[in-house]
Amino acid sequence: MTQLTVGNSASRTMTITDETIRAFADLSGDHNPVHLDDAYAAGTRFGRRIAHGMIAAGLISATLANDLPGPGTVYLGQTLQFKAPVFPGDTVTATVEVKSVRADKPIVILTTVCTNQDGVRVLEGEATVLVSQ
């Protein structure tokens, strides 16, 4: 296992475009009008369309798989708490930080946070992953 230490962190940033939202809807089959229909979304508590929460969660997955712990990482679990909406045009940064490393197995627990361009936490959670040896 790559040497991981409590406190190691990595981040990835992505701007959530209308194209991103529509592609995710097609990929996932989630065509909820709160994500896709301006008129419908205008009547919701958000007042406009919001991105699928799982787009931000996917950015966490990309950070784990590509950056920390990196290639070969496999999810064992992930908690997610959606704290604030992500709107089309928002820039989201996913940050993962090593919380603990098991000494007996290649298992790592990381805190996972997504923030928008204003520093607002839009998503919080914790990932448990199996690290490639």
Residue 57 structural domain: 9-130
Query: Greatest CA span in the chain, whole angstroms?
Result: 54
97 and 110 Cβ atoms separated by less than 8 Å: yes
What letter represents residue 15's amino acid? T
Residue 48 sits in a domain of what CATH number? Answer: 3.10.129.10
Q: Does 4 map to a domain?
A: no
Q: Does 3 map to a domain?
A: no
- Which tens digit of pLDDT belongs to each residue from 13-67? 999 999 999 999 999 999 999 999 999 999 999 999 999 999 999 999 999 999 9
- Which tens digit of pLDDT belongs to each residue from 55-95? 999 999 999 999 999 999 999 999 999 999 999 999 999 99
- E-only strand ranges, 19-106: 74-82, 91-101
The pLDDT, as a whole number, for residue 2 is 52
Q: Does 25 map to a domain?
A: yes
Q: Does 67 map to a domain?
A: yes
Number of domains in the chain: 1
Q: Does 2 map to a domain?
A: no
